[in-house]
Amino acid sequence: MYEMNAREYSENVMKGYFKKIYPVIAQQILDYTGVTEGKCIDLGGGPGMLGISMAAITNLEVVIYDLLPECIEVANENIAERKLNRRVTARQGKAEDIQFPDNSVDLVISRGSIFFWEDQKKGIAEVHRVLKPGGWAYIGGGFGTPELLAEVMEARKDDPEWEKGRACRMKKNPPEHYQKILEELEIPGGIQYGSAGTWIIFQKQE
């Protein structure tokens, strides 16, 4: 069972040494998918900063969706702080059982969460199920750019466990691993892989 201190993560990580990465990743998602309207889920969104950054540059209605009730509580505070209550909400649930109807979502984004899902294949199948035909998925992990990754690594240099954890997650989740999941699910899509991150990207066929 995944555990984390949501408040500490929000204050020290999301608003601390990860602060710059969310707007950059949100812009990359927008540039790639072009989705600006409709419904978006930030899956495993934690205290919500990627979804909030996505809402800030689009007209999307964003749902921060996360396993942990504490994350939902802190996400709601972050949404209120950014005065985005009319377009951003937070809801508890798990990636492997997304409580949305079939063909109802325009964009699913997810950063830094898939590594912790109990069943990644089921989660990806769920993402595909809830997407509308033509809707996009952008799921994985990363830091936006190599420069931002270098800044985060500098901020974490006194904690070798942090880099060990990151390296271990990268090793366990190489691009071939995600490509295999897409092939097994017969979802046409690709893996974007670079030093700053690994992303599973697909558009549901019309």
Site residues for ligand SAM per CB under 6 A: 2, 4, 14, 44-46, 50, 66-68, 71, 94-96, 111-113, 116-118
Minimum CB distance to ligand SAM smaller for 67 or for 124: 67
Minimum CB distance to ligand SAM smaller for 118 or for 184: 118
Minimum CB distance to ligand SAM smaller for 33 or for 113: 113
Check: CB of residue 5 under 8 Å from CB of residue 46. Answer: no
Residue for token pair 């063909």: 103
Give strand ranges (E) for the chain. 39-43, 61-66, 88-92, 105-111, 131-142, 190-194, 197-203
Tell me the closest approach of the beta carbon of residue 191 to ligand SAM, in angstroms: 18
Minimum CB distance to ligand SAM smaller for 2 or for 193: 2
Tell me the closest approach of the beta carbon of residue 190 to ligand SAM, in angstroms: 21
Tell me the closest approach of the beta carbon of residue 206 to ligand SAM, in angstroms: 28
Tell me the closest approach of the beta carbon of residue 115 to ligand SAM, in angstroms: 8
Q: Which phi and psi (to 5°) does residue 61 adopt?
A: -90, 115
DSSP 3-state percent helix, strand, coil across the chain (nearest 5): 45, 25, 30
Minimum CB distance to ligand SAM smaller for 119 or for 188: 119
In angstroms, rounded to a whole number, what is the distance separating the alpha carbons of residues 46 and 84? 16
What is the DSSP pairing of strand 197-203 with strand 131-142?
Answer: antiparallel
Minimum CB distance to ligand SAM smaller for 66 or for 106: 66
Tell me the closest approach of the beta carbon of residue 1 to ligand SAM, in angstroms: 9
Q: Reduce the DSSP state of residue 62 to 3 states and report it.
A: strand
Q: Reduce the DSSP state of residue 131 to 3 states and report it.
A: strand
- Calculate the CA 77 to chain-centre distance: 19
Tell me the closest approach of the beta carbon of residue 44 to ligand SAM, in angstroms: 3
Check: CB of residue 26 under 8 Å from CB of residue 13. Answer: no
